[in-house]
């Protein structure tokens, strides 16, 4: 118990960690747009051709910006459940932020090589890793009552994990598909829309019936 108390004291309140997290998310989102560019010194025809060839970069930017915004929202929601941190939770969160900071790299690969299995699968793997860290954070908060802002019911704990897990499942399934058909793997990501609608309903229902903010 003394060791646990010392760990909590050392890690402290989540406020400063959330401020750091906001900064890392903002930087990662900003870095995404750096790959959307047209070379200098083009004549009129080459310029039009370059503009027409920008769609993979714009699509990858839009996808990753949306994904990062969703991850940021989930991250904030998770820490609404936290009153304080311990060392394990702090380490998990820092690991998740490291993966977030990495996302512009596979985004650039996806934009430049959308037909390459390695590029598509790497992007999906990074998404799965980020979501796995979020699931681990959620599970830790659920099971460690001394970290909770309010008691987390089993219904809410399961709903949060299922909502996070849908993203990991969809992107995880796309990894082997990418080695058969990168285009098919990209289309499988659309399964996330009905999956998140369904899991979101369950999460909202659990939140309404829970005293947790």
Instruction: Summarize pLDDT for 13-62 with one digit per residue, the tens.
Output: 788 899 999 999 999 999 998 887 776 667 667 777 767 777 888 899 99
pLDDT band at 11 (very low <50, low <70, confident <90, very high): low
Q: What is the mean pLDDT of residues 57-80?
A: 93
pLDDT band at 6 (very low <50, low <70, confident <90, very high): very low
Which SS3 state, helix, strand or coil, does residue 40 take? coil
Residues in CB range of 202: below 8 A, 6 or more apart: 159, 162, 163
Q: From CA 104, how far away is CA 175, in angstroms rounded?
A: 18
**What pLDDT, on a 0 to 100 scale, did the predictor assign at position 8?**
52
Sign of CA dihedral 134, 68, 195, 169: negative
More confident: 1 or 68: 68
Percent of the chain past pLDDT 70, that is, above it, reads 89
**What pLDDT, on a 0 to 100 scale, did the predictor assign at position 21?**
95
Instruction: Summarize pLDDT for 110-128 with one digit per residue, the tens.
Output: 999 999 999 999 999 999 9
Residues in CB range of 189: below 8 A, 6 or more apart: 170, 171, 174
**What pLDDT, on a 0 to 100 scale, did the predictor assign at position 25?**
97
Nearest to 26 by CA among 95, 101, 134: 101
The pair of structure tokens assigned to 84 is 């304080």
**What pLDDT, on a 0 to 100 scale, did the predictor assign at position 118?**
96
Q: From CA 18, how far away is CA 83, in angstroms rounded?
A: 12
Instruction: Summarize pLDDT for 148-194 with one digit per residue, the tens.
Output: 888 888 999 999 999 999 999 999 999 999 999 999 999 999 999 99
Domain boundaries, the chain: 2-208
Q: From CA 195, how far away is CA 178, in angstroms rounded?
A: 20
Provide long-range contacts, Cβ within 8 A and 24+ apart, for 174-182.
174/120, 174/121, 174/124, 175/121, 175/124, 175/125, 175/128, 178/117, 178/120, 178/121, 178/124, 179/117, 179/121, 182/114, 182/115, 182/116, 182/117, 182/119, 182/120
pLDDT band at 1 (very low <50, low <70, confident <90, very high): very low
Q: What is the mean pLDDT of residues 186-203?
A: 92
Nearest to 92 by CA among 2, 190, 21: 21
């Amino acid at each position: 118990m003394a060791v646990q108390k010392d760990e909590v004291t050392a890690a402290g309140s989540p406020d400063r960690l959330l401020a750091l997290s906001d900064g890392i998310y903002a930087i990662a989102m900003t870095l995404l747009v750096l790959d959307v560019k047209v070379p200098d010194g083009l004549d009129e025809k080459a310029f039009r051709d370059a503009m027409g060839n920008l769609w993979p970069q714009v699509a990858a930017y839009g996808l990753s910006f949306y994904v990062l915004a969703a991850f940021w929202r989930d991250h904030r929601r998770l820490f609404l459940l936290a009153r304080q941190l311990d060392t394990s939770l702090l380490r998990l969160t820092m690991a998740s932020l490291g993966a977030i900071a990495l996302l512009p790299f596979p985004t650039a690969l996806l934009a430049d090589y959308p037909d390459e299995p390695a590029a598509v699968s790497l992007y999906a793997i990074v998404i799965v890793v980020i979501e796995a860290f979020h699931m681990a954070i959620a599970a830790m908060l659920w099971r460690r009552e001394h970290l909770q802002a309010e008691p987390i019911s089993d219904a809410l704990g399961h709903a949060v994990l299922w909502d996070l897990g849908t993203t990991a499942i969809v992107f995880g399934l796309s990894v082997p598909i990418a080695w058969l058909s990168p285009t098919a793997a990209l289309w499988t990501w659309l399964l996330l829309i009905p999956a998140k609608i369904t899991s979101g309903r369950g999460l909202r229902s659990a939140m309404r019936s829970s005293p947790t903010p």
